[in-house]
Amino acid sequence: MSPKSALTRFQTLLRIPTISYADESLIDWTQFDSFIATIAELYPLVHSRLEREIVAGHTVLFRWPGRGASEPSLLMAHYDVVPATDLGWTHPPFAADVTGTGADEVIWGRGTLDNKGAVTGILEAVERQLATELVPAQDVYLVFTHNEESAGDAAPAVVDLLESRGIRPAFVLDEGGAVVEGVFPAVTAPVAVVGVSEKGQADFRLIVEEQGGHASTPPKVTATVRLAKAIVRINEHPFPARFSVTALDMFRTLGDHASGVIGWAFRNIGLTRFALLPVAARSGNELNAMVRTTQAVTILTAGQAPNALAERAEANINVRIAVGMSMARVLKHLTRSINDEKVRIELVHGTEAPPVSLLSGIGWEVLRATVESTYPGTVVTPYVQNGATDSRHFTRISRGVYRFTPFEVSKDERDALHAKNERLHVATFLRGIEFYAALIAAL
């Protein structure tokens, strides 16, 4: 299993356009069938020695029997990708071109980071360990889901299946944080951010209905004006800022590796939190999103004709719910901010923020030790992830669910997620395989 052939196999998998659409009628399922058949060809030991089941149509579940009968571990990733057209890409999104040499060797394509890099990394590592006759201490499950990007039914179906068999993994690892540099002030070491929870999310619809009529004789407050006022009021009443327990843990961890007054402030976050909170809230959108529930008006609809008053005006509000906040409290906050009973608020759909995973136990300890051995000099810290992942469903059957992709990614590379020119350094991909191989050996 040379690195060159690992890269070739990665290219093969990237070239299969397993594109997710919310509208399932647009999905080309033959690509998903082809992906499943191709991993069977590329990873013969995985397919001959592990038990395989197909769940929810196209999700692949493997069980690697271990020596013991204690709680198993579970490694997961998704192989569907968001759509991409050639427009604006330096290299076509499904060509899997490789450019450069040495440290500058880069592989381009949709899915390199999100999330076929992890799918391939896990398969490479397991195949390699099977070749050395490794038998894990406990069972190891591998789960490759097919509709993460459309928040589909696969992950909950896998959880239902495992739950029905009484399986409660001690450790679940899914996509999420990465090894990053230069994100935290005064911390010069690389930092591995491991998601121990993620925000919940919900869509609310504001609806205003008024008598329509001719636009030449409008009343003082039309449906559109009432809706606009409600939106402005929501915007003027952000959710309160607060450091979660996880954020406090994060600052304490980083404080040990930060210099000067910032290091001191981080280490003594119990004292400095009230001074730091407003600073964090003002320090850019990413940090602001870390300290509060956020709300964004994403869709506005009203009116049928340029000269007719709208009978109905609607706004969609996308809310990302902080850990410690609930959907019921979000609704209460919105209702109070709008303060107008003619504006109806409906919950379209939503999920609460999942519980925070343990910062102790085998999963956390093995994960931390493996990051430190694969990425020497890296600080491992918990954090709450802003985006949603399939792993949230697994909190139902495990207290050790972690969100971490073992790749070192720059700001530019992170910005290419779900955007054009998604890419990954080849050396990073190969190091990710080392990470998974070491992790499996330690489980």
Task: Pinpoint the alpha helices (H) of 192-296.
Answer: 223-236, 245-255, 260-267, 269-282, 284-291
| 22: Cβ contacts below 8 Å, ≥ 6 apart | 150
- Residue 350's alpha-carbon distances to 205, 252, 273, 319, 405, in angstroms, are 12, 32, 30, 9, 26
Contact 66, 40 (CB under 8 A): no
Compute the least distance from the CB of residue 165 to Zn ion, in Å.
27
Is the CB of 76 or the CB of 443 nearer to Zn ion? 76
Compute the least distance from the CB of residue 19 to Zn ion, in Å.
13
Is the CB of 59 or the CB of 129 nearer to Zn ion? 59
Q: Is 405 in the site for Zn ion (CB under 5 A)?
A: no
Compute the least distance from the CB of residue 397 to Zn ion, in Å.
21
Is the CB of 127 or the CB of 149 nearer to Zn ion? 149
Is the CB of 303 or the CB of 387 nearer to Zn ion? 387
CA angle in degrees (0–180, nearest 5) for 382-383-385: 140
- Residue 3's alpha-carbon distances to 83, 84, 407, in angstroms, are 29, 28, 16
CB atoms within 10 A of CB 102: 7
Compute the least distance from the CB of residue 198 to Zn ion, in Å.
12
DSSP state of 387: S
Compute the least distance from the CB of residue 370 to Zn ion, in Å.
21
Is the CB of 72 or the CB of 195 nearer to Zn ion? 195
Footprint on residues 157-216 left by Zn ion (CB under 5 A): 175
Footprint on residues 101-130 left by Zn ion (CB under 5 A): 114-115
Contact 71, 139 (CB under 8 A): no
Q: At what angle do helices 260-267 and 245-255 cross, to 10 degrees?
A: 140
Is the CB of 176 or the CB of 200 nearer to Zn ion? 176
Give the alpha-carbon dihedral of 251, 255, 258, 264, to 10 degrees. 110
Among 169, 195, 216, 231, smallest CA distance to 383 is for 195
Compute the least distance from the CB of residue 148 to Zn ion, in Å.
6
Is the CB of 76 or the CB of 319 nearer to Zn ion? 76
**CA–CA gap between residue 320 and residue 337 (Å, rounded):** 17
Q: Which helix (H) or strand (E) is 332 found in, with range?
A: helix 327-338
Compute the least distance from the CB of residue 425 to Zn ion, in Å.
19
Is the CB of 22 or the CB of 131 nearer to Zn ion? 22
- Residue 356, class by beta-carbon neighbours within 10 Å (0-12 exposed, 13-18 middle, 19+ buried)? buried
Number of residues forming the site for Zn ion (CB under 5 A): 3
207: which 2 tokens? Answer: 């609806």
Compute the least distance from the CB of residue 80 to Zn ion, in Å.
9
Is the CB of 309 or the CB of 388 nearer to Zn ion? 388
Compute the least distance from the CB of residue 387 to Zn ion, in Å.
8
Is the CB of 351 or the CB of 373 nearer to Zn ion? 351
Among 64, 169, 60, 66, smallest CA distance to 119 is for 60
Compute the least distance from the CB of residue 421 to Zn ion, in Å.
17
Which parts of this chain interact with Zn ion (CB under 5 A)?
Answer: 114-115, 175
